Chain A
Amino acid sequence: QKEVEQDPGPLSVPEGAIVSLNCTYSNSAFQYFMWYRQYSRKGPELLMYTYSSGNKEDGRFTAQVDKSSKYISLFIRDSQPSDSATYLCAMRENNAGNMLTFGGGTRLMVKP
């Protein structure tokens, strides 16, 4: 079993839909949680960064962390075709230097 599991998709939604992207993990020591967006042939772009449990909102994006369930989510409201990309979750322990563990990525397609 991988340390971080993420459904590879593809996930196809119509423009304007609410998108829910999720990751589960097994390591209870993870404290820092990140979401990256990666367009084809580009490097990953940091979207959201949260520490421990709770919610964080930034524009159309909301990140949720539920440490009791070892489950994190990224919600995208009013999705746009420009949101079409691969979304990677990543996480890190508190005292692991900066060693990130990545999920496999979910490919999202938003259709006009």
Chain B
Amino acid sequence: SAVISQKPSRDICQRGTSLTIQCQVDSQVTMMFWYRQQPGQSLTLIATANQGSEATYESGFVIDKFPISRPNLTFSTLTVSNMSPEDSSIYLCSVVSGNSYEQYFGPGTRLTVT
């Protein structure tokens, strides 16, 4: 399995500001994803982070609001832009490594927007 770390683990931000979340994996992985988990809810896929090209966003999520970078096979960032209280959520990085279909999650970043 892959070991995934995220920074920051939590943050409290003001409305209208932006926060960049980092995801670091201890090994090269084929696919990286960003999910959101709102309080008491299940996980919703935001986008697939593609190495060397633009991320693939799911319905309801746009690049201007959630820009994503993936400069190499072990690192990705998600920015939550122009935040509002509705963006308060846990943001999770997830990876699939090698030829396995097993998918692993990072510890999450707990974001509160005031």
Query: Which A residues contact B (CB, under 8 angstroms)?
Result: 32, 34, 36, 41-46, 49, 51, 88, 90, 92, 97-100, 102-105
Tell me the minimal C-beta distance from A96 to chain B in angstroms: 11
Task: Please give me the residue from chain A that is nearest to B32 by CB atom.
Answer: A98
Task: Please report whether the interface of chain B is mostly helix, strand, loop or mixed according to DSSP.
Answer: strand
Is the CB–CB distance between A99 and B101 below 8 Å?
Answer: no
Cβ contacts B82-114/A at 8 Å (1 or 0 each): 000000000010001000011111111010000
Cβ contacts B58-69/A at 8 Å (1 or 0 each): 000000000000
Task: Please give me the residue from chain B that is nearest to A103 by CB atom.
Answer: B42
Is the CB–CB distance between A98 and B96 below 8 Å?
Answer: yes
A sample of 13 cross-chain residue pairs with beta-carbon separation below 8 angstroms, ordered by A number, consists of: A41-B108, A41-B110, A43-B4, A43-B105, A43-B106, A46-B103, A49-B101, A49-B102, A51-B101, A88-B42, A92-B101, A98-B31, A100-B45
